[in-house]
Homo-oligomer: A and B are copies of this chain.
Amino acid sequence: MRPNIVLFGDSITQESFRSGGWGASLADTYSRKADVVLRGYGGYNTRWALFLLHHLFPLGSTKPPVATTIFLGANDAALAGRTSERQHVPVEEYKENLRKIVRHLKECSPTMLIVLITPPPIDEEGRMEYARETYGEKAMTLPERTNETTGVYAKGCIELAGELGVRSINLWSKMQETDGWQKKYLRDGLHLTAEGNAVVFEEVVKVFKEAWLDASEMPYDFPHHSEIDGKNPEKAFQQKCL
Instruction: Give A contacts to B, CB under 8 Å.
Output: 1, 14-15, 17-21, 23-25, 27-28, 31-32, 35, 37-38, 40-44, 47-48, 51-52, 55, 85-88, 194, 222, 224-226, 228, 230, 233-234, 237, 241
**Are B32 and A14 in contact, CB atoms less than 8 angstroms apart?**
yes
Q: How far is the CB of A201 from chain B (nearest CB, A)?
A: 11
Is B32's CB under 8 angstroms from A24's CB?
no
Q: Is the CB of A27 within 8 A of B31?
A: no
Residues of B within 8 A of A23 (CB): 27
Chain B residues within an 8 Å CB radius of A19? 19-20, 24-25, 194
Known contacts A25-B19, A51-B241, A237-B51, A230 near B1 by CB under 8 Å:
no
Contact (Cβ within 8 A) B86 A230: yes
Q: Are B1 and A55 in contact (CB under 8 A)?
A: yes
Q: Which residue of B lies closest to A19 (CB)?
A: B20
Minimum CB–CB distance for A71 against chain B, Å: 15
| Residues on the B chain within 8 Å of A40, using CB | 31-32
Closest Cβ neighbor of A29 among chain B residues: B17
Give Cα A224–Cα B10 distance, bound, in whole angstroms.
Answer: 11
Residues of B within 8 A of A85 (CB): 230
* A38 cross-chain contacts in B, Cβ below 8 A: 27, 31, 35
Q: Are A52 and B17 in contact (CB under 8 A)?
A: no
Q: How far is the CB of A101 from chain B (nearest CB, A)?
A: 15
Q: List 11 A-B contacts (CB under 8 A).
A: A1-B55, A14-B31, A17-B27, A19-B24, A24-B28, A32-B40, A42-B224, A51-B222, A51-B237, A87-B225, A88-B230
Q: A31-B40, A51-B237 are in contact. List 5 more A-B contacts (CB 8 A).
A: A17-B24, A18-B28, A19-B20, A19-B24, A86-B228
- Distance in angstroms between the alpha carbons of A47 and B233 in the assembled complex: 9
